[in-house]
Amino acid sequence: AERKLLPALYHRQMEGQFTEPTRIIGASRASLSHDEYRRFASDALKEHLKSGEFNEAEVEKFTSRLYYVSVDAKSEQGWDDLKKLLEEGKDRTRAFYLAVGPAIFSDISEKIRDHKLITRNTRIVVEKPIGRDLASATELNDTIGKVFREE
């Protein structure tokens, strides 16, 4: 998130690719407030953007979109908090971007399903690598496919 994802999302904003109101919700096991996550993001952008890309006003606008929830992929911790945060704007498109190891793709997919976070406008994106070989990639695809239909 720090080196790649946050700068990439910031660039999307700079290109005018976010519609209003767009929210970006960071989630991990770490315990952070929304403001602490926004400071983390701002610091990450200062460190990882190329020279001349950091615009204080745009960074402030970008970080105002950011929210954070502490969630554990393998337990029940935090999932109700995420659901509550998603209630506002429940008809908007939701994209779950899994920037995690493939070993927990299925756990997270199932938690998203079990906590009724899937709407007709929900999408899931998984980072590569997807498995170690064809067999493990197929298994992961099938596991995620049980929760999220291909179309």
**DSSP string for 50-111:** PTT---HHHHHHHHHTEEEEE--TTSSTTHHHHHHHHHTTTTS-EEEEE-S-GGGHHHHHHH
Cα(36)–Cα(100) distance, integer angstroms: 21
Tell me what pLDDT residue 146 has: 83
Q: What's the predicted TM-score (pTM) here?
A: 0.87
> CB–CB of 151/120 below 8 Å?
no
The domain limits of the chain are 1-70, 94-150
Q: Which CATH architecture has domain 1-70?
A: 3-Layer(aba) Sandwich (3.40)
Separation of alpha carbons 1 and 85, rounded Å:
20
Label residue 74 exposed, middle or buried (CB < 10 Å: 0-12, 13-18, 19+): exposed
pLDDT > 90? residue 30 = yes
What would the pLDDT profile of 55-89 be if each residue is shown by its tens digit?
999 999 999 999 999 999 999 999 999 999 998 87
pLDDT, one tens digit per residue, over 81-124 is 999 999 887 788 899 999 888 888 889 999 999 999 999 889 98
Element (H, E) at 118: none
